[in-house]
Structure 1
Amino acid sequence: MSASVSMPLGGVQVGSYDSYEQAQAAVDYLSDQKFAVENVTIIGSDLRQVEKVTGRLTLGRATAAGAAGGAWWGLFVGLLLGIFSTDGGGWVGSVLSGLLVGLVFGAIFGAIGYSAMGGRRDFTSTSAIVAGRYDVMCAPASAEEARAHLARFSLRG
């Protein structure tokens, strides 16, 4: 079935909510009422990117983050190489060598990466795409039943 001008992707709107959690709770309520939720779609509208600044990025923080990432990779490589060791001492040596080499190279590359930025982005952040509104859509044949259920859901509080 393809979408058309008269019927958008997902069907017709049976509810609209300010957060994804509210829309999810509405669909969960429909499921609890034994409604055929395979006919339901949640569509986020008015998308925007939100970037939360988490802190200042310094040479020390960039070097430490690079060292930590490098240490994990070094540990992984050391464990893989340690599989082929014939004795316990060789296994421990492989793991510790991999960890140390990864830590050093990670720190070096972290510092080089920070220096290459030239002060253009001296902060750390996390990004998320959020919608301004979440519409619960339903197949037209079941829309009235879904609206009736969601009306009772909204009265619950």
Structure 2
Amino acid sequence: MTMPSPAGPSASLPQSAANRETLASYRAYAEAQRAVDFLSDQKFPVQHLSIVGADLKLVETVTGRLTSWRATLAGAASGAWFGLLIGLFLAIFTPQAGFGLVLWALAWGVVAGAVFGYVGYLMTGGKRDFVSYSQIVAGRYDVLVDPAKAAEARALLERLNA
């Protein structure tokens, strides 16, 4: 944990956090959450606090290779859900059609999704032949406090760190 340092107003922060000062900085969100939870347990008015992630970076984790087969299957799966949704929706308003309509819409969803998945893969021209997911990660988490409540919060937080 890094000890407090005053933070001036910042245009990049929401209005609720713009005029607050840094109470403490932590490397992990769980540590910042623990500090706020401790202050809450001590009956500190936590509405005067904010947790702000700083030094943000985008982390993209590659999970595998994207092939035409995988793109087609993913499209088919998406199409199946869409077809099922449409089929159930239509079945509500045409109860005499029944279960057959739901299966028909599901089948068309699978086919259309598979075609769109395959064509979409071909249209990338091999520019992105991998599957990944992205997340935004903060380098540190600052706990901010209203200046009027800073002394009280610091005194309480010292008990947590002792």
**TM exceeds 0.5?**
yes
Is the partner of 2:128 in helix, strand or coil?
coil
Match of 1:103 in 2: 110
The alpha-carbon deviation at position 85 of structure 1 amounts to 2.4
**Equivalent runs, 1:4-153 vs 2, <5 Å:** 6-8=8-10, 9-87=18-96, 90-153=97-160
Q: Deviations over 1:50-104 (max 9, x none)?
A: 10111111111100000000000000000011012243xx210110011000000
- Would the aligned equivalents of 2:21 and 2:146 in 1 still touch at CA under 8 Å? yes
Amino acid at match of 1:102: G
Q: In structure 1, what is the Cα distance between the partners aligned to 2:85 and 2:114?
A: 17
Amino acid at match of 1:96: L
The alpha-carbon deviation at position 130 of structure 1 amounts to 1.1
Q: In structure 1, what is the Cα distance between the partners aligned to 2:81 and 2:48?
A: 45
- Would the aligned equivalents of 1:51 and 1:126 in 2 still touch at CA under 8 Å? yes
The alpha-carbon deviation at position 7 of structure 1 amounts to 4.1
Q: Deviations over 1:116-149 (max 9, x none)?
A: 1111111111111111011001011111111122
Is the partner of 1:83 in helix, strand or coil?
helix
Is the partner of 1:35 in helix, strand or coil?
coil
Paired residues, number: 149
Q: In structure 1, what is the Cα distance between the partners aligned to 2:54 and 2:95?
A: 59
Q: In structure 1, what is the Cα distance between the partners aligned to 2:52 and 2:125?
A: 41
User: Which stretches in structure 2 are left out of the alignment for 5+ residues?
Assistant: 1-6, 11-17
Q: In structure 2, what is the Cα distance between the partners aligned to 1:132 and 1:98?
A: 48
Q: 4+ residue runs of structure 1 moved beyond 6 angstroms? A: none
User: Which stretches in structure 1 are left out of the alignment for 5+ residues?
Assistant: none
Amino acid at match of 1:60: W
Q: In structure 2, what is the Cα distance between the partners aligned to 1:64 and 1:10?
A: 51
Q: What is the TM-score of this pair, normalised by structure 1?
A: 0.90
- Would the aligned equivalents of 1:40 and 1:136 in 2 still touch at CA under 8 Å? yes
Q: In structure 1, what is the Cα distance between the partners aligned to 2:62 and 2:161?
A: 36
- Would the aligned equivalents of 1:10 and 1:40 in 2 still touch at CA under 8 Å? no
Q: CA RMSD in A?
A: 1.4
State, as a whole percentage, how many aligned pairs show the same letter.
Answer: 54
Is the partner of 1:66 in helix, strand or coil?
helix
The alpha-carbon deviation at position 44 of structure 1 amounts to 1.1
